[in-house]
Amino acid sequence: MVLTVPDFRVPHTFDSISRRIALVIAGVMLAGCATPPVPDLSVRTPEAWSQSPTPAAPPAQMQEWWKALHDPALDALVGEALNKNLDIAQAAKRLQRERILAGHARAHFLPVFSAGARSLQDLSTADDYFQASLDMVWELGLFGAAESTRLAANADLHTAQARGQGTRVAVVAAVVRAYLELKTARYQASLFANMQTLDEQADKLAQVRLRAHINEADEPVQITMRAAQARAARAQALEAADTAALSLAVLLGRETPDPAWAEAAAEPTEPEFTLSQLPADLLRTRPDIQVAEAEVLRAAATLGLARSALYPRFALSGAFTYSYNLTRSSHVSGDNTPSFGPVIDIPLWDWGLRRAQVDADEQELDAALLGYHKAVLDGVAEVQGALAALARQHERAAAYEEVLKARQAGQQSQGVLLSQGLSSQFDGLGGQRAVLEARIELASARAAQEQAFVALYKALGGAPLPPAEAMNP
Cα distances (angstroms) measured from residue 380 to each of 55, 271, 281, 459: 20, 22, 10, 9
- Check residues 422 and 309 and name the one with the higher pLDDT: 309
As to burial, measured by CB atoms within 10 angstroms (0-12 exposed, 13-18 middle, 19+ buried), residue 453 is buried
Q: Assess whether pLDDT exceeds 90 at residue 267.
A: no
The answer to whether the beta carbons of residues 127 and 325 sit under 8 Å apart is yes
Q: Is the pLDDT of residue 352 over 90?
A: no
Give yes or no for a contact between 333 and 127, defined as CB atoms under 8 angstroms apart: no
Q: 375-378 — which CB contacts under 8 Å span 24+ positions?
A: 375/286, 375/288, 375/289, 375/291, 375/292, 376/43, 376/45, 376/282, 376/283, 376/289, 376/292, 378/288
Q: What is the mean pLDDT of the chain?
A: 82
Q: Are 417 and 196 in contact (CB under 8 A)?
A: no
Q: What pLDDT does residue 2 have?
A: 40
How many angstroms separate the CA atoms of 442 and 434, rounded?
12
Q: Compute how many other C-beta atoms are within 10 angstroms of the C-beta atom of residue 349.
A: 8
Provide the residue type at 274 as one letter.
T
User: Does residue 26 carry a pLDDT above 50?
Assistant: no
Could you tell me the pLDDT band of residue 319, with boundaries at 50, 70 and 90? confident
Q: How far apart are CA 434 and CA 411, in angstroms?
A: 9
Mean pLDDT, residues 49-74: 82
AA letter at 232: A
Per-residue pLDDT for 19 more than 50? no
Between CA 103 and CA 99 the distance in angstroms is 6
pLDDT at 454: 94
382-395 burial code (b ≥16 CB/10 A, e <16): bbbebbebbbebbe
- C-alpha torsion angle, residues 73, 76, 80, 85 (rounded to 10): 50
pLDDT band at 5 (very low <50, low <70, confident <90, very high): very low
Q: Give the residue, 265 or 259, on which the prediction is more confident.
A: 259
The answer on pLDDT for 6 being more than 60 is: no
Dump pLDDT digits (tens) for 326-341: 776 555 566 777 888 7
For position 211, what pLDDT does the model report? Answer: 60
pLDDT at residue 292 in the model: 95
Q: How many CB atoms lie within 10 A of CB 324?
A: 16
State pLDDT tens for residues 72-82: 999 999 999 99
The answer, yes or no, to whether residue 383 has pLDDT greater than 80, is yes
Nearest to 315 by CA among 112, 104, 144: 112
Backbone angles phi, psi at 32, to 5 degrees: -60, -25
**SS3 helix, strand, coil % of the chain, rounded to 5?**
65, 10, 25
Q: Tens digits of per-residue pLDDT, 422-435?
A: 666 666 678 888 89
The reported pLDDT for the residue numbered 27 is 46
Q: Which of 17-26, 260-269, 352-361 has the lowest mean pLDDT?
A: 17-26
C-alpha 46/C-alpha 12 separation (Å) is 66
Task: Considering the domain delimited by 2-8+38-471, tell me its CATH architecture.
Answer: Up-down Bundle (1.20)
- Taking the domains of the chain in order of start, what are their residue ranges? 2-8+38-471
> How far is CA 360 from each of CA 81, 144, 277, 450, rounded to the nearest angstrom?
44, 18, 39, 48
Residue 138: pLDDT over 90: no
pLDDT higher for 202 or 60?
60
Mean pLDDT of 209-234: 75
